[in-house]
Amino acid sequence: MTPTTQQQQLQHHLAYPPGQPTTTTTKTATPDPPIQQQQQQTQTQHVINDDDDEVEWDTGIGVSDADIVASDGDGTDLDDTRPNVQQFLPLLRVLGKGSFGKVVLVQKSVGREQGVLFAMKILKKSHLVRRRQIERTRTERKVLSAVNHPFIMKLHYAFQSPDKLYLVLDYCPGGELFFHLSRFRRFPERVARFYAAELLLALGHLHKRGIIYRDLKPENVLLDADGHVKLGDFGLAKAGIRHAYEGATSMCGTPEYMAPEVLAQQGHGFCVDYWGLGMLTYEMMTGLPPWYTTDRAKLFRRLRSAPLDIPPYFSAQSASFTSALLERNPRRRLGVTGIRAAMENDFFKSISWRALYGRRVEAPIRPCEGWSPPAGGDENEQTSSSQQQSSQVNNVPTDLDAATANFDNQFTRMPVETDDKGNDDNEDLEELHEDTFVGFTFDDDDRDAAEAAHQQKQQNSRQRTQHIAREGHHID
């Protein structure tokens, strides 16, 4: 098949010019979008989540309870007696807005990582109460603080005020994968393979820690400045999973991407994410997820039983790979035996996994050509001068338009400091138990300390096992 003009432009590396995407994707929006979705006019917005009654953050994430507690911070929170957040994380520009709050571009003005840009998710507690999203938010904070991977969004800080929660995350100036897919209608196979491979490594990292993601779609995959993926939005993740097709029973996810076992509520495990990877790979190569329709009842019927339509331009390898991932029986799905089987599939024959993990494989799309994030400073280089601190606060990127070119300007043009708190917010806040968000505070150093403690514990366990084997002793 003759490649389209857009595909021809992707034959090597691509730098997008400024401007809005030429959107041809026909996924339609529903009135109530999640927070980090920028292309509201075309994105799949509705997320089903029946997990409201599950306390997911108490199930463990593949490490001991002590390790999880170590990552919780000291339980102290930001309150009115401490500096205002805008004094050390000045708000620069809105990146996205949704039902529970907004995501804002910020730049750290003091201390370690001074000058570095972050994406700060600001969530209103009253809206979380009203929409029963407290557990989803706690889950996201819990999972993000426990994982550390080059292709997963990193949580740097978490704190709260009396009425808001703040999550300070990696800033991904490349925007959503959906944004770029919309511009090009579909990706050539080699481009889809690159993103699928990086996402497979991210999913493998989660699964190794007993976490399933459950909401893989282009809107939840962001690109960093170099074009590598960052998996974000962990609100539907679930920890404590130990089985490929058992462990979770809730019906949750974005309808267009739901696995049959989730629809049937017969139990699901790691295999649900391999289904999601198959759906996303198919969409990257065709422009829409398989079985797509705006009719919800028809969509679910198709997901359960309609045959998979493989376009004629799919190679034998891509057809086999997507078909194996979109096997409706999770016991026969590619990935049921673990990530290795998927990595060894012929679709990835050209991939050097070691180089890919080390980010030594160049990304096919360069979303930020001509612009790079400002480098962070060293806190040892700072002075105690208030004049110096003031100048650092004002040391913002010289071209915010370039820094946010891959985000929808209906958001980036919004005022960053608007707060529409009303009387209903106060009533909803009264429903919150005082311990609801205890332990929400987090600093990146907490993750390092928890990982070091976990590694030391494993080393001590190995040494004791070796000692017992040598001495022939028995554990009392």
User: What is the rounded CA–CA span in Å between residue 65 and residue 271?
Assistant: 25
Write the pLDDT tens digit of every residue in 365-395. Answer: 999 987 777 776 654 444 343 334 333 444 5
Are the C-beta atoms of residues 398 and 107 closer than 8 Å to each other? no
Q: What is the pTM of this model?
A: 0.77
Average pLDDT estimate for 101-120: 91
Q: What's the token pair of residue 309?
A: 């339509």
Write the pLDDT tens digit of every residue in 310-328. Answer: 999 999 999 999 999 999 9
Q: From 336, 355, 311, select the one nearest 189 (Cα to Cα).
A: 311
Are the C-beta atoms of residues 54 and 250 closer than 8 Å to each other? yes
Is residue 238 marked as binding?
no
Write the pLDDT tens digit of every residue in 9-40. Answer: 443 334 333 333 333 344 643 333 333 333 33
For the purposes of burial, counting CB atoms within 10 Å of the CB of 213, is it exposed (0-12), middle (13-18) or buried (19 or more)?
Answer: buried
- Mean of all residue pLDDT scores within the chain: 78
User: What is the rounded CA–CA span in Å between residue 154 and residue 150?
Assistant: 8
pLDDT of residue 431: 65
Write the pLDDT tens digit of every residue in 229-281. Answer: 999 999 899 999 999 999 999 999 999 999 999 999 989 999 999 999 999 99
Helix and strand numbers (H, E) in the chain are: 18, 13
Average pLDDT estimate for 202-219: 97
All structural domains of the chain, each given as residue ranges with its CATH number in brackets, are 56-173+371-452 (3.30.200.20), 186-366 (1.10.510.10)
User: What is the rounded CA–CA span in Å between residue 91 and residue 204?
Assistant: 35
pLDDT of residue 237: 95
Kindly tell me if the per-residue pLDDT of 141 is higher than 60. yes
Least confident of 84-93, 149-158, 231-240, 467-476: 467-476
Average pLDDT estimate for 128-155: 91
Beta bridge mates, 365? 14
Q: What's the token pair of residue 441?
A: 């505070």
The one catalytic residue among 77, 215, 408, 425: 215
DSSP one-letter string for 376-393: PB-GGG--S-HHHHHHHH
215 belongs to the catalytic site: yes
User: What is the rounded CA–CA span in Å between residue 39 and residue 134?
Assistant: 25
Give the H/E segment covering residue 321: helix 316-325
pLDDT of residue 426: 60
Alpha carbons within 13 A on the beta-carbon side of 443: 12
User: What is the rounded CA–CA span in Å between residue 297 and residue 291?
Assistant: 12
Q: From 90, 88, 85, 213, select the one nearest 140 (Cα to Cα).
A: 213
pLDDT of residue 152: 98
pLDDT of residue 386: 38
